Amino acid sequence: MHLLRSGVTLALLAVAVANAANRESSKRIEEREFGRMPDGTVVRQFTLRNTNGMVAKVISYGATITELQTRDRNGALTNVVLGASTLDEYVKGVNAAAVIGRVANRIAGAKFTLDGVEYKLAANNGPNHIHGGRLGFAKVAWQAEALPIGERAASVRFTYLSKDGEEGYPGNLTVKVTYTLSDDNALRIDYEATTDKATPVNLTNHAYFNLAGTSDVLDHELWLAADRYTPADDQLIPTGKIASVKDTLLDFTTPTRIGARIEQLKPKPNGYDHNFVINGGGESLVLAARATEPKSGRVMEVRTTEPGVQLYTGNHLKHSALCLETQHYPDSVNKPDFPSTILRPGETFKSTTVFAFSAR
């Protein structure tokens, strides 16, 4: 009888442990239907949580971050990413923290030549191509799966097949993007891609951040690990040169209010919309930027394996948010002296960006 009771006790204990683990898993990640696209495709939303109360919500439409709740110095949670509550708003073009591809940023003249073949793309930014085209990766449905719960993190992976010829690009490109929310209050984005034909690839996330959660970002202080930038023409196409930020309006090598010099950039581009060359960027994960909101005390650090970061201050949104788009430089496919964006069969594109949050 004693052995039987021990066996029963152990079995009940195992069940209790399993139930506790299941409860913990359900707290870490939840999945629900977010809406349906016009063709009936179901869009899923995944809610990731960590043990500190931080919340990240992402949907399978554009692999988009819809919400990112972080704490201020008093412990209050606020959403720090511009987004929307319905799928219809995203389909209609609300500013979204979506994955941008096949090539982020601009391509001059909406064309490039690769291996002796000229490829023509959609001219959706004046005469130029921007952010992958009319749909790109931001306005399509991705496949999604929640990954096994980690000891100190929760992850969801999105997969998309960009077919040969889509938006004018060559090759069938398979893209995987994994979001991981960890207990150290960091949202990590891992990008991976393979192709069956040589093609340019430059992936980023176009999240619009406001660390106060309201008003504008002009009082945010910004530091960039960037002594240099890529000068551009009046259409924001890089000239191909790399210049020092010293004694320019683009020097954020010491923490500086975003609004301190922004008026001098008007009327065009009406604020910051510049690509910076990250010191030591392009190989290992390095600290690229730090944004601080003085009233809430929130701090966001950006680490990346990418060589560049585009600072955009929501110029069409009255500076209500800022973007720090980790990426290769704009128009790299037409600039042989820039780091290459060409992915070939047998190779795997990999890139990581981490947005880490704290308060002080």
| C-alpha closest to that of 354 among 285, 298, 308, 295 | 285
Q: Are strands 55-59 and 173-182 parallel, antiparallel or unpaired?
A: unpaired
Helix (H, G, I), strand (E, B) or coil at 349: strand
Distance CA 50, CA 23 (A): 13
Q: Which residues are catalytically annotated?
A: 206, 325
**How many angstroms from the chain centroid is the CA of residue 44?**
18
Rg (CA), the chain: 22
Helix or strand or coil: residue 251? coil
Read off the DSSP letter of residue 267. Answer: T
DSSP sequence for 17-60 = HHHHHHHHHHHHEEEEEEEE-TT--EEEEEEEE-TTS-EEEEET
Contact of 306 with 352, CB cutoff 8 Å? no
Q: Kindly state the tokens that stand for 17.
A: 């442990």
Q: How far is CA 12 from the centre of its chain?
A: 45
Cα–Cα distance between 333 and 200 in angstroms, integer?
A: 7
Grouping H, G, I as helix, E, B as strand and the rest as coil, residue 165 is: coil
Backbone dihedral angles phi then psi of residue 326, each to the nearest 5 degrees: -75, 135
